[in-house]
């Protein structure tokens, strides 16, 4: 069994100001666009984590020049070449980099962690084949046989399992000889804000995307070298905001963007619905988010379709388990294909501590009960780890297994969490 981390128990109100590192989603999109650009790019405010390190290493192995100068990352596109890519457990690497590999001169082998081999991949690989790319394999490990270019054209995909299939194709679409016209054939499309983020960042690099309902068309065009200023990761801020909610305390997050495409921004309305006081305060050219939790016994449950914001579900489920009225989180069947089956994992771990969490076809029904201490398993899933920390604030004796899995997107989380309860 992995090393146990005694989650700090602090049921009295916390008061804390937390600086949050950059967005993983924006950082890894910036890396891809910079590697495919017509000239050099710079990135500031980038997240440094396992997922972003894997992205950087993948692109470097394929011939992209990446140099750090203090807080600035300089990216110089180079001729792409044959390489071996370690995806780890990073969905953005395993789904964004294969289309880039189509433009390499030679084969690019992709592999990753044991859990990564069970993550859905056939959608992006079949799409690449339809666009004229030679791919062998149906899941990790697989090989993209790059020839320096690819035809492109129309492609029908069912992206119900992950919006990353759409984003992965869009990011490389301008480099295909005929561009790419994506048509989504499924009934649902989770995490639309992430696709909106992709389209917005393509626009920042000078790329026009013709978007309609369930379709996106990109003509062959230049991707300009760009300066990317990465926003704080709002989904990584969510557990700290949850600390205010479950303890009735107050947490502030500096540099919160006034406008953003990040799904994590939805935490503001969610917390308000659960009884928190939320305020975005002007602070010079920036804004600071302030969240004050309700008095003990007044934290409310929530009934919410989280289809667009599934990455927040573990955090919201943890808050819901500490609330006073039931919650129902729906629209998140796609979470079964994330780092782990998050619906099964959250249900098992909440119930394992004496909670009452029922697994639904597309979500969770949580009825608050008095919970007890015990082991909270993480399944090598960073958001499961932070969910356990939230519950541990108000449940004595929670031991989180493998807290270091948070290094996937938020290195140093355990120390940051200790600082929350120290003030």
Q: Do residue 66 and residue 194 come from a single domain?
A: yes
Residue range 71-80, pLDDT digits in tens? 999 999 999 9
The radius of gyration computed from the CA coordinates of the chain, to the nearest angstrom, equals 21
Phi/psi class of residue 331: alpha, beta or left (left: φ > 0; alpha: ψ in -120 to 50)? Answer: left
Q: Do residue 375 and residue 236 come from a single domain?
A: yes
Q: What range does the domain containing 284 cover?
A: 4-22+232-421
> For residue 1, is pLDDT > 60?
no
pLDDT band at 337 (very low <50, low <70, confident <90, very high): confident
> For residue 244, is pLDDT > 60?
yes
* 312 DSSP assignment: G
Tally of domains within the chain:
2
- Write down the mean pLDDT value for the chain: 96
Calculate mean pLDDT across residues 203-220. 97
Binding residues: 24-25, 29, 91, 119, 162-164, 191, 311, 338, 342, 383, 408
Q: Do residue 268 and residue 222 come from a single domain?
A: no
What pLDDT was estimated at residue 367?
98
Calculate mean pLDDT across residues 275-290. 90
Q: Do residue 263 and residue 410 come from a single domain?
A: yes
What pLDDT was estimated at residue 283?
74
Binding residues for phosphoenolpyruvate: 24, 91, 119, 164, 342, 383, 408
Q: What is the pTM of this model?
A: 0.92
Q: Do residue 276 and residue 360 come from a single domain?
A: yes
Q: Do residue 289 and residue 316 come from a single domain?
A: yes
Binding residues for 3-phosphoshikimate: 24-25, 29, 162-164, 191, 311, 338
Q: Do residue 144 and residue 248 come from a single domain?
A: no
> For residue 340, is pLDDT > 90?
no
> For residue 51, is pLDDT > 80?
yes
Residue whose entry in the numeric block shows the structure tokens 């997050």: 253
Calculate mean pLDDT across residues 346-366. 98
Calculate mean pLDDT across residues 342-370. 97
Calculate mean pLDDT across residues 327-352. 94
Q: Do residue 91 and residue 127 come from a single domain?
A: yes
For residue 272, what are its two tokens? 């308000």
**Rounded CA separation 375/367 (Å):** 20
Instruction: Count Cα atoms within 13 angstroms, Cβ side, for 391.
Output: 35
Q: Do residue 192 and residue 254 come from a single domain?
A: no
Q: Percent of the chain having pLDDT more than 90?
A: 93
Final residue before a domain boundary, out of 186, 206, 229: 229
Final residue before a domain boundary, out of 209, 229, 249: 229
Q: Do residue 191 and residue 334 come from a single domain?
A: no
Residue 413 maps to which CATH number?
3.65.10.10
Final residue before a domain boundary, out of 211, 229, 247: 229
The residues assigned a catalytic role are 311
What pLDDT was estimated at residue 338?
79
Q: Do residue 223 and residue 104 come from a single domain?
A: yes
């Amino acid at each position: 069994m992995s090393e146990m981390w005694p989650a700090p128990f602090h049921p009295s109100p916390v008061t804390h100001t937390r600086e949050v590192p950059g967005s993983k989603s924006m950082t890894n999109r910036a890396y891809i666009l910079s590697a495919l650009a017509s000239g050099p790019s710079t990135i500031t405010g980038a997240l440094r984590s396992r997922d972003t390190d894997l992205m950087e290493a993948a692109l470097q192995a394929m011939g992209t020049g990446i140099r750090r100068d203090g807080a600035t990352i300089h990216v110089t596109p180079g001729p792409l070449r044959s390489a071996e890519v370690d995806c780890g457990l990073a969905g953005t690497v395993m789904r964004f980099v294969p289309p880039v590999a189509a433009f390499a001169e030679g084969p690019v082998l992709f592999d990753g962690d044991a859990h990564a081999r069970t993550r859905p991949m056939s959608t992006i690989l079949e799409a690449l084949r339809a666009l004229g790319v030679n791919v062998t394999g149906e899941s990790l490990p697989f090989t993209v046989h790059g020839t320096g270019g690819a035809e492109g054209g129309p492609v029908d995909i069912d992206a119900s399992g992950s919006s990353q299939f759409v984003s992965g194709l869009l990011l490389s679409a301008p480099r295909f000889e005929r561009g790419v016209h994506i048509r989504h054939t499924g009934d649902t499309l989770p995490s639309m804000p992430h696709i909106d983020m992709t389209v917005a960042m393509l626009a920042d690099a000078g790329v026009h995307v013709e978007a309609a309902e369930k379709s996106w068309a990109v003509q062959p065009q230049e991707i300009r070298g760009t300066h990317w200023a990465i926003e704080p990761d709002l989904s990584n801020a969510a557990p700290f905001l949850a600390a205010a909610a479950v303890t009735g305390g107050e947490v502030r997050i500096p540099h919160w963007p006034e406008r953003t495409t990040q799904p994590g921004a939805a935490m503001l309305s969610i917390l308000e619905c659960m009884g928190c006081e939320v305020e975005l305060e002007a602070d010079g050219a920036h804004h600071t988010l302030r969240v004050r939790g309700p008095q003990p016994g007044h934290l409310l449950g929530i009934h919410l379709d989280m289809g667009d914001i599934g990455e927040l579900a573990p955090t919201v489920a943890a808050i819901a388990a500490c609330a006073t009225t039931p919650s129902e989180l729906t629209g998140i069947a796609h979470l079964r294909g994330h780092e782990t089956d998050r619906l099964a994992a959250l249900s098992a771990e909440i119930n394992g501590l004496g909670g009452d969490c029922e697994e639904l076809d597309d979500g969770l029904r949580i009825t608050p009960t008095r919970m007890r201490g015990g082991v909270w398993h993480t399944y090598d899933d960073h958001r499961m780890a932070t969910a356990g920390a939230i519950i541990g604030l108000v449940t004595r004796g929670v031991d989180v297994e493998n807290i270091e899995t948070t290094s996937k997107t938020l290195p140093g989380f355990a120390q940051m969490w200790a600082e929350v309860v120290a003030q």
